[in-house]
Structure 1
Amino acid sequence: MERSEPEKLDIDAGPAWEPLRHPFFRALWLATVVSNIGTWMQNTAAAWLMTSLTSSTLMIALVQTATTIPIFVLALPAGVLADIIDRRRLILMTQLWMLAIATLLGLLTLADLVSPWILLALTAMLALGSAMNAPAWLSILPELVPRSLLGEAISLNSASFNLARAVGPALGGLVVASMGPAGAFLLNAVSFLAVVAVVYRWRRSSCVEQEAVGGLGAAFRAGIHYVLDTTTLHAALARSVAFMLCGIALLALLPGLVRHELGFGAVAYGWVLGSFGAGAVVGALLQPYLRHLLRLEPMISMATVWFAVVLLVTAYGQRLMVVCLLMMNAGAAWLMVVANYHTTVQSVTPSWVRGRVLAVFLLCIFGAMAGGSALWGAVAARIGIRPTLQVAAAGLVLGLGATFRMRLPIDAGLTSGESHV
């Protein structure tokens, strides 16, 4: 396939909601909100069920690891598949897989057959479907909106996840309190039908091409070589790892903090986690305007320090309202950091290798999240949750300082190559 000369990056900020003017993006976005609400109900119920099955801080933190380690293991194979087979078909298959696993977990929970290890195993199997889905899902975003709106589309994609994070945990807490965790698991299974219905009706543009490669092995090697040879990607990947490795401590230790340190129940945990999502939605709405005021580097640095301060103060939180306000601030800062790294990677990656590059990005993000969750869970088991949050906050600042000299390409005015379609 012929590849054109690189074109100048075009990520000027537009209205935050502008991508929703495009009909399929709007339909898929709304379906995604529904499905993500189900996912957050599932996550809330799984974390809370684990606190009922065991008091081990490590086992509770491993729920977060189980949701992220499959992406670390499968991101690259999933990225290869996203580049060499029809992305629409791949998304449909993975959504149906997740529907089946959520249903199985719900039925086993109803039958009172779930142990801590069974819960971790089925959580990981559900995450396996998410891992195989993610590169294809992210790769279709440039097909749905004009390139000038890519940054806004990525922020809205993150906002849909976090809007659901604002609503899903609170609903999950209510469902767990009234119907038990099984109810949340089964409702999540139903939520996958929204995405299946929309994607099934989608017909991709005939001008969209995916490169024909000589099998999985050749495609895998080509993707790895591309990432290793493309220095414009290295800063975003390394800095996202530094942020996630320490930042994930907040979410990994949150169930234990709410239940064992603050003494609250499932409904309160849903409100606390929902506050994080609400803050992330606010962050997504602010981003287009902040891009007019700040360059990329200071925006990410400011958000990273902001998140570190919130993490430190949360370690001293005692009241539910205070913790919820802190989590709103954490959510906004998190969104600004992650969405800007994601936009950077998308903007400097050509279409023919986009699935594999995004897979590497996901591998870095979720590998750091999985490793960080296990690390901070083990540290908390030895020194306690509150001191661990303080150490993680310091780690965020140190990580920012250690990687700050690695400049991001958009600030440098670099270009990106797009495939000829």
Structure 2
Amino acid sequence: MKHRPRWLQGLENPIFVRLYLAQTINLVGDSLTWVGLALLAFELAGEQAGTVLAGALTLRVMAFVVLSPIAGAIADRVDRKRLMIATHLARMGIVCLLPFVTQVWQIYAIVLSLNVFSAFFTPTYTATIPLVTKEKERSQAIALSSATYQLLGILGPGLAGSIAAFIGTRQIFFLDGITFLVASISIFRLPGELMVDRDRKTTQTVSRTLQDIRTGTSCLFLDPPIRYALALQLIAAIAGAEILVNTVGYVRGTLSLDKLEYGWVMAAFGMGATVASVGLGNIQKISPVLLTSIGAFLITVALLPANLVNLSGLLLLWAIAGVGQTLVNVPTQTAIADRVAVEVQGRVYGAHFAWSHLWWGFSYPLAGCMVSHFPNQNFFYSSLIGLALLAIVYLAFKPRNLDDLEDGLWHEHHHRHDEQHMHIHSPNTIIQDSHSHLHFHSITQATRSSQAS
């Protein structure tokens, strides 16, 4: 029997294959959406199209920050299969409204609606990968998902632009709707339910949801390796926002090059990220703490000489930055999968998705501020800010000690307070009140293997 390359071994799991296919189709649809929106914005706003798209991106980030923790809480309590299908079908209906848009405010309203449902789908999908894969497949599945995201980030816009040129700007949104329908069918074909605990279906009240949000966020900040990785994602977001916001000005303005060269530079960034994702799927187990540290250093240092280089230099630097971006993001997802029990992962991934996008919400304005005040040294000073933060994080977290922490899992412990089960709590705790606590329990390799299976 012919064996797949290590980074493709997750595809030996038929349930993951269908889930991965749905994600891939979803990413193609996203490319169609954003290329179509850019063309539609130009059609309605002309030279102000950039302002329209900036507003749309801000709405996207805010939807993720506000709603992703709620999505994570719900994903741990309901059938994730139904939740993902519902988000796809809702987005299919919403995106099919775009051909009929005649005013800019309608773009904002539809983009906000689309990303409300995206905020529910993405963390649910991410949390479902560890649910449907075994431990030996998990890192490869996460890396493959990341590589596909990066690769379609490179190829998708070009493909979408070609389709738009062939069928028309407004018609592309109907094709986009079809991708959501096909993706929902792929998820529908998954066997059974995707419940983390089929025996525990609780009513999702407001107080229950708020408690679940606190649980997800608490787990992020209580676990030292995950907390360290989240801090490094802020540093990576500062550098990443600088690249996404200000590369076009440097290539088209400072270097006096054309759109084609700008496309090459951004493709280099995406290609570096893709190669790193494939590499992570091929290598044996390496400390996420080490990988995220290397990644944050690479993406930050890549900016340092960027204001002084020509096109060739920028291609190399942005490829290195892409590698750094992946080395921060993918091991962070793997660390959550390795250190958080399955029944809590939806809440933790939802909280992580919100906090990581909050970093980007802070970093985008910073990138704009840097280019406004230091137009010829914006990359250099952004790199210095990142390096200073990296030094502070390194001294505060002492990452060399994080790998020595005990191996284990955060999990939720449910119980009732009665005469047979007493703990020391606040005086307001009601006897016989059913509630839960977040605990970290050490876990042996045998226990982990049993849970993974």
Larger Rg: 2
Query: 1:212 corresponds to which residue?
Result: 201
Q: How does 1:384-403 map to 2 (within 5 A)?
A: 384=375, 387-403=377-393
Shift of 1:388: 3.0
In structure 2, C-alpha distance between the alignment counterparts of 1:184 and 1:412, rounded to whole Å: 51
1:357 aligns with 2:357: no
Task: Give the partner amino acid of 1:302.
Answer: I
Query: 1:301 corresponds to which residue?
Result: 293
Change (3 A) 1:373 1:177: farther
Query: 1:377 corresponds to which residue?
Result: 368
Of 343, 346, 357, which aligns to 2:334?
343
Change (3 A) 1:325 1:36: farther
In structure 2, C-alpha distance between the alignment counterparts of 1:256 and 1:106, rounded to whole Å: 31
Change (3 A) 1:343 1:221: same
Of 221, 225, 233, which aligns to 2:211?
221
Change (3 A) 1:354 1:314: same
Alpha carbons 2:73, 2:212 under 8 Å: kept: no
Query: 1:34 corresponds to which residue?
Result: 25
Query: 1:64 corresponds to which residue?
Result: 57
Query: 2:191 corresponds to which residue?
Result: 203
In structure 2, C-alpha distance between the alignment counterparts of 1:387 and 1:244, rounded to whole Å: 19
Alpha carbons 1:91, 1:137 under 8 Å: kept: yes
1:174 aligns with 2:177: no
Task: Give the partner amino acid of 2:211.
Answer: R
Change (3 A) 1:135 1:295: closer
Deviations 1:213-253 (A, max 9, x none): 45242242144146436621433333323432443221234
Higher RCO (CA 8 Å, separation ≥ 6 residues): 1
In structure 1, C-alpha distance between the alignment counterparts of 2:315 and 2:158, rounded to whole Å: 12
Aligned-residue sequence identity (percent) comes to 22
Task: Give the partner amino acid of 1:241.
Answer: L
1:159 aligns with 2:147: yes
Change (3 A) 1:182 1:62: same
In structure 2, C-alpha distance between the alignment counterparts of 1:339 and 1:181, rounded to whole Å: 34
Shift of 1:146: 0.4
Higher alpha-carbon deviation: 43-52 or 167-176 = 43-52
Q: How does 1:225-374 map to 2 (within 5 A)?
A: 225=215, 227-228=217-218, 231-232=222-223, 233-257=226-250, 270-291=263-284, 295-316=287-308, 318-319=310-311, 323-374=314-365
In structure 1, C-alpha distance between the alignment counterparts of 2:175 and 2:264, rounded to whole Å: 19
In structure 2, C-alpha distance between the alignment counterparts of 1:75 and 1:394, rounded to whole Å: 31
Alpha carbons 2:127, 2:345 under 8 Å: kept: yes
Alpha carbons 1:40, 1:165 under 8 Å: kept: yes
Shift of 1:322: 5.4
Shift of 1:76: 1.4
In structure 2, C-alpha distance between the alignment counterparts of 1:120 and 1:20, rounded to whole Å: 38
Q: TM-score, normalising length from structure 2?
A: 0.77
Alpha carbons 2:306, 2:314 under 8 Å: kept: yes
Name structure 1 gaps, 5 residues minimum.
1-13
Query: 1:3 corresponds to which residue?
Result: none
Query: 2:126 corresponds to which residue?
Result: 138
In structure 2, C-alpha distance between the alignment counterparts of 1:159 and 1:70, rounded to whole Å: 25
1:20 aligns with 2:11: yes
Task: Give the partner amino acid of 1:220.
Answer: L
Alpha carbons 1:240, 1:364 under 8 Å: kept: no
